[in-house]
Structure 1
Amino acid sequence: MKFQVSCELDYTLQDPATFLFALKCIETPGQQILNERMEVDPFVDVEDFTIGTGMNRFSRLKTLNPGTLRVSYQAEVLTSNRVVPASSLNVDSPGDLTPEAISYLFPSRYCQSDRVRQQAQDLFGHLTNTYAIASGVSDWIFEHVAYVSGSSGETSSAIDTMEQRQGVCRDFAHLAIALCRSMNVPARYATCYAYQLNPPDFHACFEVFINGWWYIFDPTRLAPLNGLVRIATGRDAADAAVCTIFGNPELTSSIVNCHSLDPNFIPITRDSLVARQEAIALL
């Protein structure tokens, strides 16, 4: 599948500031960047680098003078996915996990899995299959947590979302990750450009590790699962935030788009997966 993604962020600057952006798509075995361009107006030197596993791509820029700043990015990207029968997915015990998945069993900044263990056992303890647990978690959040724009902030965690029963995609993903990890299911956070997301914005989902693959879930159900273009992946939003700012600039405008360039694109949704008893992994 071929997508065109873009974003344009406008800031008002009063004092010097440093920005760490994760706007650029990453390349994986199943995601290829055909072309891309990042622009900064007025011109500021941009330092590109990776952190940790080397998967996520960051851009650092420093501003010194008051005024305005516009950062824009666009790319054409090829993506692919793996769809398999859900019945083919076996149970992965912690003793059988590959090393790359083990760190995603532990609590993290926004996903305090150790603090929701009892709630997870009460809700999902009757499920023994890894995929069934992840599916049950995602469906429960969709049914019991309200999607309310502006209802949370940058310090909101899975505990807050569990108590308040409202949030945005970031909060939905954090709660899902915490509940999955508390059931011994490795889970990670993914930031994406999302096709047909309304209103258009950056989007957050979660993935669980089963039989060597990361299977994607979106508790908000606001975008097709095969319409996601990966930007960054991590333990939670602390690893994969679109922008981290050191300073006090004001974001005045954010425009994000993701268009399909494939005339034969057929959306895969949670409902269609359930109907066919399948699971999907982004490659």
Structure 2
Amino acid sequence: MKRDVSSRIVVRVTETADLVFAIAVATTSAEVEESFRATLDGVAVAPTEMPDAHGGRLHRLRVDPGELVVEYAAQVTGRDAPRDADETELVVYQRPSRYAESDELAATASAEFAGSGGDAATLLAVSSWVGTRLAYVSGSSLPTDGATRTLLARRGVCRDFAHLCVALLRARGLPARLVSVYAPGLEPMDFHAVVEAWVEGAWRVIDATTLAPRSSLLRIATGRDAADTAFLTVLSGRADLVDLRVGAVADQLPDDDLDELVSLG
């Protein structure tokens, strides 16, 4: 499989700012050709690249006021090898986190999924349950909304679907984490959020929105929830998002059997 992805972000910096972008594809065993370019009022600025968890890569920019344009493009040929997990990692991804309040949703998870069967059955049941109970409505949630508020509102965007899945899976004892991805086939095109859970000795991906085939997704960042995977973090100063454009295409879009266990590649 060959996938071409891109993103262009325009930010208006009004106070000297320290910014971190998570838009580059994660380190992979597949073949990658890529470029990263940043300009401030038309003048090139050099980012500092830093490693993140699970192969993620961050680009940090400290810039003065002006219009910052960040452009990234990559062509990825082939698929990534399966990623392993250690015991500490699995513990981390079973704990409640800021946007995935698994402790608050423990009773709900028990009532809905106690009789689901094994881990694989629980994973698929949670994905189906969230997908049928939430409505996907653009702009319907706040950046500070977590899984509990999403469940009460019964609507949200991809990160809200993902947070609710993560919280319910953790509440049933399954390590689960959020992954930001480029998603060929997604409509409307944007950065996308999905879930990985440790099931049957591997990280398995679910997407309760069913908006893009799972086997075409490309990992960007991986973490406990959206706090770890945001495409832009303003560490200090003031910067406002002006424009965001994301592209992702594949030379083939496979069918997605929702009853099948799939790993990101």
User: Does structure 1 residue 254 correspond to structure 2 residue 244?
Assistant: yes
1:167-178 alignment to 2 at 5 Å? 167-178=156-167
1:186-265 alignment to 2 at 5 Å? 186-245=175-234, 246-260=236-250, 262=251, 265=252
Residue 41 of structure 1 deviates from its aligned partner by 1.5
Residue 33 of structure 1 deviates from its aligned partner by 4.3
User: Does structure 1 residue 78 correspond to structure 2 residue 77?
Assistant: yes
**RMSD, aligned CA:** 1.8
Task: Name the amino acid aligned to 1:252.
Answer: V
Task: Note closer, same or farther for the CA distance 1:79–1:273 as it changes in structure 2 (3 Å cut).
Answer: farther
Query: In structure 2, the residue corresponding to 1:121 is in which secondary structure?
Result: helix
Task: Note closer, same or farther for the CA distance 1:74–1:179 as it changes in structure 2 (3 Å cut).
Answer: same
1:16-95 alignment to 2 at 5 Å? 16-29=16-29, 32-42=30-40, 43-51=44-52, 53=53, 55-65=55-65, 67-80=66-79
Post-superposition CA distance 1:162-220 (Å, at most 9, x none): 11111110011011000000000111110000001111100000011013210110001
Give aligned-pair identity as a percent. 37
Q: Which residue of 1 aligns with 2:152?
A: 163
Contiguous gaps of at least 5 residues in structure 2: none
Distance 2:244 2:81 in 1: 32
Q: Which residue of 2 aligns with 1:130?
A: 119
Contiguous gaps of at least 5 residues in structure 1: 84-96
Query: In structure 2, the residue corresponding to 1:142 is in which secondary structure?
Result: helix
Query: In structure 1, the residue corresponding to 2:45 is in which secondary structure?
Result: coil
Task: Name the amino acid aligned to 1:27.
Answer: T
Residue 54 of structure 1 deviates from its aligned partner by 5.8
Q: Which residue of 2 aligns with 1:267?
A: 254
Kept after mapping to 2: 8 A contact 1:25/1:33: no
Post-superposition CA distance 1:127-176 (Å, at most 9, x none): 12101111111111111111111111221111110111111100110110
What number of residue pairs does the alignment pair up?
258
Task: Note closer, same or farther for the CA distance 1:266–1:46 as it changes in structure 2 (3 Å cut).
Answer: closer
Deviating 4+ runs (over 6 angstroms)? none
With structure 1 as the length reference, what TM-score do the two structures score? 0.86
Distance 1:198 1:6 in 2: 15
Distance 2:123 2:78 in 1: 23
Distance 2:112 2:73 in 1: 42
Q: Which residue of 2 aligns with 1:91?
A: none
Kept after mapping to 2: 8 A contact 1:22/1:242: yes
Kept after mapping to 2: 8 A contact 1:82/1:280: no
